């Protein structure tokens, strides 16, 4: 299953809810959730710990737009919108954690 997150992990608990409830699969960070994919943030360790269970992707156009393209955390796979489409195709279902 593909889990799509769009909220900053520093102001809300959406990413945590997903990490706690979802059984595994792919996570795609878009919009303000891309900050979760950056080095040096207070939630870096949290995401790193989840990487065994989930494959984590980040939408690069959103990371670049926010000037954080130079902080991409190792182990997070960068995708463009085409890659986003591929993730939805390759998973049987998807959920946007709104």
Site string for other proteins, 39-68 (x = CB under 8 A): ----------------------xx------
The DSSP secondary structure of the chain, one letter per residue, reads: -EEEE-S-TTT-SHHHHHHHH--SEEEEE-GGGGGGGBTTSTTHHHHHHHTTTEEEEEEHHHHHHTT-GGGBPTTPEEE-HHHHHHHHHHSS-EEE--
CB of 89 to other proteins, least distance (A): 6
Site size for other proteins (CB under 8 A): 30
Binding span for other proteins by CB under 8 A among 43-51, 69-77, 88-96: 88-96
Q: Which residues bind other proteins (CB under 8 A)?
A: 1, 4, 6, 13-14, 17, 20-23, 25, 30-31, 61-62, 80-82, 84-86, 88-89, 92-98
């Amino acid at each position: 299953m593909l889990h799509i997150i769009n909220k900053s992990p520093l102001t809300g608990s959406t990413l945590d809810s997903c990490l706690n409830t979802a059984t595994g699969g792919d996570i795609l960070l878009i919009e303000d959730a891309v900050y979760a994919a950056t080095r040096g943030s207070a939630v870096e360790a949290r995401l790193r710990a989840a990487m065994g269970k989930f494959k984590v992707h980040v939408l690069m156009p959103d990371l670049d737009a926010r000037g954080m393209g130079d902080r991409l955390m190792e182990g997070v796979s960068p995708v463009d919108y085409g890659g986003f489409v591929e993730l939805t195709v390759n998973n049987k279902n998807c959920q946007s954690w709104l």
